[in-house]
Amino acid sequence: MTRFTRRGFLGSAAAAAGVALAPAFPARAAAAAPKGTLRLGVASYSMRKFSLDQTLAMAKTLGVTSMTFKDVHIPRTDPPEVTKALRARIEAAGITVAGGGTITLPNDPVEIRKNFEYAKNAGFPLIFTSPDPAALDTIEKMAKEYDIKTVIHNHGPEDKWWHRPQDAYAAVKSRDSRLGLCIDIGHTTRTGTDPVAAVRECKDRLYDMHVKDLAVKTERDSQVAVGRGLLDFPGLFRALLEINYTGQVGLEYEIHEDDPLPGMIESLAYERGVLAGITS
């Protein structure tokens, strides 16, 4: 595994400066657009090969203050006091905990409650889930009891139940408002669904978002740094601004797992450039 060193930090900072000087978004993005801002953050799954302390150091280099956390960084097997201590360490580093997961939830009330207790101790205002549809009644009950937003994460063509955002939306739209969805734009695209259209269709239950880019819209393994692929980020950001989206736009960088920082720097530089271009 690549060591996370001071030299690596300096090299990444130089890369960030180079990316910042490059064209950050297509020319069409400079046209009239809604004003506002988006909360650009990171899913800690992007740093899954690194410790929590290394991950927080990377977040500082990336200039992000909002993150969602995978259980590789806040383990679900830890006792409550350890989980709470990890949360305090994250907050002390200047990071807002935006949520956690993804957690697979079976149709088992005991298991579901255990995961909501974990989310409470970790300070998650929101949890990503991949739930058994038969468990939704229990999940709705727990979401109300713990007052934690609970979102279904779509995982594309391979997902047993939740291929598209619209599949999750249909399951939650008539339930308690704490139940919603996280749109993963990469998985969404691979189903032949336009993420921009999905944002508008599911706007009232869209509570989080995972972003990535693809060189081939149907191929999971074609992920590239954001801005190097085919996904329409100006259109996506415009749609999010139009619906007054307040959740995190979380970069989930799944490639180069042993050395993700250069690609993450490039991706966030592009995202920031697009956002600046459409809101200037």
Confidence (pLDDT) at 17: 38
All domains in the chain, ordered by first residue: 38-279 (3.20.20.150)
pTM for this structure? 0.86
Q: Do the beta carbons of residue 237 and residue 38 sit within 8 Å?
A: yes
Q: What is the mean pLDDT of residues 13-25?
A: 39
Q: Tell me how far apart the alpha carbons of residues 202 and 280 are, in angstroms, rounded to a whole number.
A: 27
Q: Which pLDDT score is estimated for 36?
A: 73
- End-to-end alpha-carbon separation of the chain, Å? 41
User: What is the mean pLDDT of the segment spanning 101-123?
Assistant: 97
pLDDT, tens digit, 9 for 90 and up, residues 39-80: 999 999 999 999 999 999 999 999 999 999 999 999 999 999
pLDDT, tens digit, 9 for 90 and up, residues 151-181? 999 999 999 899 999 999 999 999 999 999 9
Separation of alpha carbons 231 and 216, rounded Å: 10
pLDDT at 35: 60
Query: What are residue 249's DSSP bridge partners?
Result: 40, 209
| Contact assessment for residue 177 and residue 141, using Cβ atoms and an 8 Å cutoff | no
